[in-house]
Structure 1
Amino acid sequence: MESNKKYIKYIINWMDITKNDKSTLKEVNADLLNSQKENNENNSNKLYLIKTIIDSHMLYCDVFELLTEKKYYEAWCKLERIEINLISIKNNIEYLDTHHDYGLQFLTNMVRNWQMLYPYKIFLSSREIIHELQCSICHTQRSFLDNCIHEKGKLYNGQVCYDEVTKFEIITFDIVSTPVHKYSVLFPKSGDNNNYQYLDLVLNYVKSTHQIFSVRLLNRFFDNHHGILSPDAPCPCNRSMKLYKDCCLKRKYIYIQHVDLSFPTPLNVPAIFQ
């Protein structure tokens, strides 16, 4: 289809996509709905991927703007939305010409880099007993012994197949460090008291949406425990939610997290990153 060629050209030139391209996204969505009505499965799946790629780049533009406005949690939630989009695209990429990247590697790297700079360590996670669930495509009930022909995560006529929970029972809510849903950050009643120094420092140098950088989190160890406070304080190694007495206090060495930041061109980066 001619419209598809136009859209493909659009996502190949992904660096030109901005948060103001809502009209193009609306146009793709309208074509997707028409294709679904005609049961043109291959075309519908292709249009879904095009739509999701455009949406992901627009979301990233939103993320960068929110970060510059110091709206850290809102940006964090949108980073997770991009991450979810990227999973759907990866699971169904066979519907697009894989000779092109469409900016997917850029999004994958940059979402990871920004997330690594966040100070969030504690999240809320629920545990449930699932009594009934069904396929989102054909609405057939699923179980360990019975299933339908649709594969979770795959596209069917422009719709992603997922498990639709119809009956469940919440057992408990747990505090975790590796959540299923990253948006479930725990904040104290007093508000957001997190230290966003790493984000702020990077934003001193990243001035445009598509400027790239890379982050590595390393552990450096010290052979003494100078300047460490109460054993009941959070462990300064920052590797878990454990208290100092339950983590590094009993070790000969204490491991301190080190942030290694790289830009494609040399910059005068503060010593905290050196």
Structure 2
Amino acid sequence: MEIKLVTVDDTKSEQIKRAIELLKSEKQAAARNGNEDKANQCWRELEGLELNILFIQAFNNLKSKCYRQAWIEFEQCEIKYLFISKNSTQEFLNTSRLNFIQDKVVKFQSLYPYCLFCSPEFKVGYYSCSICGHKVRPRSRCEHKKGMLYNGELCLHEVHEMEMLGISLVTKPVQKYSVMHDDSTLDFTLIESLVSNLDDAFEDWNLSRTKMKFPIERFSRVSKDHMCPCKSGETFGACCIDKNEVEIPHIDFIFSKPLPSDAETITFPY
């Protein structure tokens, strides 16, 4: 059965709902009958379908300028992809568009201005296997491996007796959803510029990171106490203020289609 799945409207169609329910039903039946290969394949198909839907929703949120919600959904895409990729062939990841999605998720995330996150610290009493319930100890483990698939179910280590110890501020978080920024104070120009030229979530595109030089006069609105536009980490007054030109990071977006001439102009960020 061929399924059209490109737009948000497609994700809400009766065809998609029926496909999801059918996969769930077939997975349960296969698991009951001990047909592990069939149960695992249904799990892959179901998770792959849900990942496609999640990616489309995230793209739609970018279009709607709901950047924080899209960021959260991109992280969920990453997590789903991690588990699916551990239990799938490269052929499946390619034909189900999951490798495409993962590539674009990473690139979308790289365009976000987020740089500060909170990271909770926990003390865990013990873990147990989600498949058999075995209490996981350093020298006492069951036959199930974390992240692997067993009869249509993913093996996870469930947390018990968890105690929160504190919260740290980090730049490279384990959980990316914990953003410590007020979006209204941030510049999302790069993402806005990109998605304004994309018609749907599965249109191919790429980016190239370079640097461009601009005359110092272009930076008249930058205070000497502000961070230098060259991204050196120093203030403008201590870095490039006395130079004739300032070299700043630049991103070229590469599209799979020709763009109108007015869409190819350089957006100067200062």
TM-score range, shorter chain: 0.7 to 0.9
Q: Any residues of structure 2 matched to 1:1-274 within 5 Å, and which?
A: 6=1, 18-20=10-12, 21-94=16-89, 98=92, 101-188=95-182, 192-218=184-210, 229=223, 236=229, 244=234, 256-267=248-259, 268-272=263-267
**AA of the residue aligned to 1:197:** T
Once residues 168 and 230 of structure 2 are traced to their aligned partners in structure 1, the CA distance between those partners, rounded to angstroms, is 23
Deviation at residue 64 of structure 1 after TM alignment = 2.0
Per mean C-alpha deviation after superposition, the further-off stretch among 178-187 and 213-222 is: 213-222
Tell me: CA distance 1:85–1:99, structure 2 relative to 1, closer, same or farther (3 Å): closer
CA contact (8 A) 1:217 1:260 kept: yes
CA contact (8 A) 2:120 2:168 kept: yes
Q: What is the DSSP-based 3-state SS (H/G/I as helix, E as strand, rest coil) of the residue aligned with 2:11?
A: coil
CA contact (8 A) 1:126 1:173 kept: yes
Deviations 1:26-79 (A, max 9, x none): 221122122222232111111000001111111122122222111111111111
Deviation at residue 197 of structure 1 after TM alignment = 0.7
Deviation at residue 256 of structure 1 after TM alignment = 4.1
> Any gaps of 5 or more consecutive residues in structure 2?
none
Deviations 1:96-152 (A, max 9, x none): 965962212211122122212211111111122222111111111112222111111
- TM-score of the superposed pair, with normalisation by structure 2: 0.79
CA contact (8 A) 1:14 1:102 kept: no
- TM-score of the superposed pair, with normalisation by structure 1: 0.78
Tell me: CA distance 1:166–1:230, structure 2 relative to 1, closer, same or farther (3 Å): farther
What is the aligned length? 251
Q: What is the DSSP-based 3-state SS (H/G/I as helix, E as strand, rest coil) of the residue aligned with 2:180?
A: coil
State the match for 1:3 in structure 2: none
CA contact (8 A) 1:116 1:215 kept: no
CA contact (8 A) 1:236 1:244 kept: no
Tell me: CA distance 1:199–1:135, structure 2 relative to 1, closer, same or farther (3 Å): same
> Any gaps of 5 or more consecutive residues in structure 1?
1-5
Tell me: CA distance 1:36–1:264, structure 2 relative to 1, closer, same or farther (3 Å): same
Once residues 234 and 136 of structure 2 are traced to their aligned partners in structure 1, the CA distance between those partners, rounded to angstroms, is 45
Q: What is the DSSP-based 3-state SS (H/G/I as helix, E as strand, rest coil) of the residue aligned with 1:89?
A: helix
**AA of the residue aligned to 1:88:** F
Percent identity of paired positions between Structure 1 and Structure 2: 24
Q: Please give the root-mean-square deviation of Cα atoms over the aligned residues, in Å.
A: 3.2
Deviation at residue 264 of structure 1 after TM alignment = 2.1
Q: What is the DSSP-based 3-state SS (H/G/I as helix, E as strand, rest coil) of the residue aligned with 1:77?
A: helix
Deviation at residue 16 of structure 1 after TM alignment = 9.2
CA contact (8 A) 1:86 1:104 kept: yes
Once residues 119 and 166 of structure 1 are traced to their aligned partners in structure 2, the CA distance between those partners, rounded to angstroms, is 36
